[in-house]
Amino acid sequence: MALDLNLLRVFDTLMQERKVVAAAHRLGLSAPAVSNALARLRRHTGDELFTRTAQGMQPTPHALGMAASVSQALAALEHTLARPAAFDPASSERVFRVAMTDIGEIVFLPTLMRALQEEAPRVQLATVRNTAVDTRAEMALGGIDLAVGWLPDLAAGFHLRRLFEQRYVCLMAAGNPLAKGRLTLDRYRQARHALVVAEGTGHDRVDRLMRQQGVRRILPLQLPHFVAVPWIAAETDLVVTAPQKLADKVAGPLGLVVRALPLELPHFEVNLFWHQRVHADPGNRWLREWWAQLFGGAGTR
């Protein structure tokens, strides 16, 4: 027979009040309702639990043995079901795990870490490469708090907040012949390219989109990520087709040139994603809002 947890609330209150009328008043019940609940709990435990005396309801040895465990269990349930505590970024020592690409680390982390030092000096960020884990499963299980980037696989079934739109550009050394003069499609085709195949992101579609337009490139180098290509482009004749924000970030320090593509590629959205399980979590909500303030923030779903 399943136990009605309300009976335990009656038991715990009777243990404290030792009078049926007082317990009923505290619980917002009638005295007969408390007596009826006690009778049901007696049948469930096979023990009298309380006996009436001139001093009130006195617990039996079995009831005394139950009391601490019942009280602790009810307190644990109340704590579990209570509204989440407010999040204080100034004092929190929480560690947030965020799935992002190497581009995300270059574009977001310098700004994020400067802002964290000011607003939440004890909070820690731990980045997770979205290609190294099952991001969907980890977010559902709580192993990842947020994911950020161009992640088409997360578009369905997750909350998202649009941060900004991106386009692709050409990135090359200042001495590359394509850095001067009109960049035509023929010159682009004849150049030597570094191809980045970032599996698990939308970036792995770029070469396929070009081939669909009849653009076949010379590809002496292929890499699984973007992080090394700016330095490679700076010291070789290789051209990189890269997202605008990455190109803008590295062009100045490395003396690179950014040119518009001589063909049309779809723009793409960089979004912030989170799972329903953390939708109402104050800490996660703070991080989402803070991230959106720093990097964009239009449109949530």
Is there a single domain that holds both residue 276 and residue 130? yes
Is 87 a residue whose pLDDT tops 80? yes
Q: Quick one: pLDDT at residue 186?
A: 94
State the average pLDDT over residues 120-135.
83
Is there a single domain that holds both residue 76 and residue 222? no
Is there a single domain that holds both residue 75 and residue 102? no
pLDDT averaged over every residue in the chain: 88
What percent of the chain has pLDDT above 90? 48
Q: How many structural domains comprise the chain?
A: 3
Please indicate, yes or no, if residue 90 is contained in any of the structural domains.
Answer: no
Q: Which residues contact 241 (CB under 8 A, 6 or more apart)?
A: 168, 169, 170, 171, 193, 206, 261
Is there a single domain that holds both residue 103 and residue 247? no
With bands split at pLDDT 50, 70 and 90, how would you rate the model's confidence at 155? low
Q: Exposure of 82 by Cβ count < 10 A (0-12 exposed, 13-18 middle, 19+ buried)?
A: exposed
Q: Exposure of 33 by Cβ count < 10 A (0-12 exposed, 13-18 middle, 19+ buried)?
A: middle
CATH number for 74: 1.10.10.10
* pLDDT tens profile 53-74: 888 889 899 988 888 888 888 8
Please indicate, yes or no, if residue 300 is contained in any of the structural domains.
Answer: no
Is 75 a residue whose pLDDT tops 70? yes
Please indicate, yes or no, if residue 152 is contained in any of the structural domains.
Answer: yes
Please indicate, yes or no, if residue 35 is contained in any of the structural domains.
Answer: yes
CATH number for 181: 3.40.190.10
Domain ends where: 29, 48, 81? 81
Is there a single domain that holds both residue 157 and residue 179? no
State the average pLDDT over residues 243-260.
94
* pLDDT tens profile 278-301: 998 999 999 999 999 999 855 454
Is 93 a residue whose pLDDT tops 70? yes
Please indicate, yes or no, if residue 135 is contained in any of the structural domains.
Answer: yes
* pLDDT tens profile 98-126: 999 888 999 999 999 999 999 999 999 99
Is there a single domain that holds both residue 157 and residue 181? no
With bands split at pLDDT 50, 70 and 90, how would you rate the model's confidence at 222? very high
Domain ends where: 32, 56, 81? 81
Please indicate, yes or no, if residue 89 is contained in any of the structural domains.
Answer: no
Please indicate, yes or no, if residue 88 is contained in any of the structural domains.
Answer: no
* pLDDT tens profile 176-190: 999 999 999 999 999
Is there a single domain that holds both residue 59 and residue 128? no
Quote the domain boundaries for residue 262. Answer: 168-266
CA dist 221 to 12, 114, 240, 279, Å?
Answer: 71, 35, 10, 42
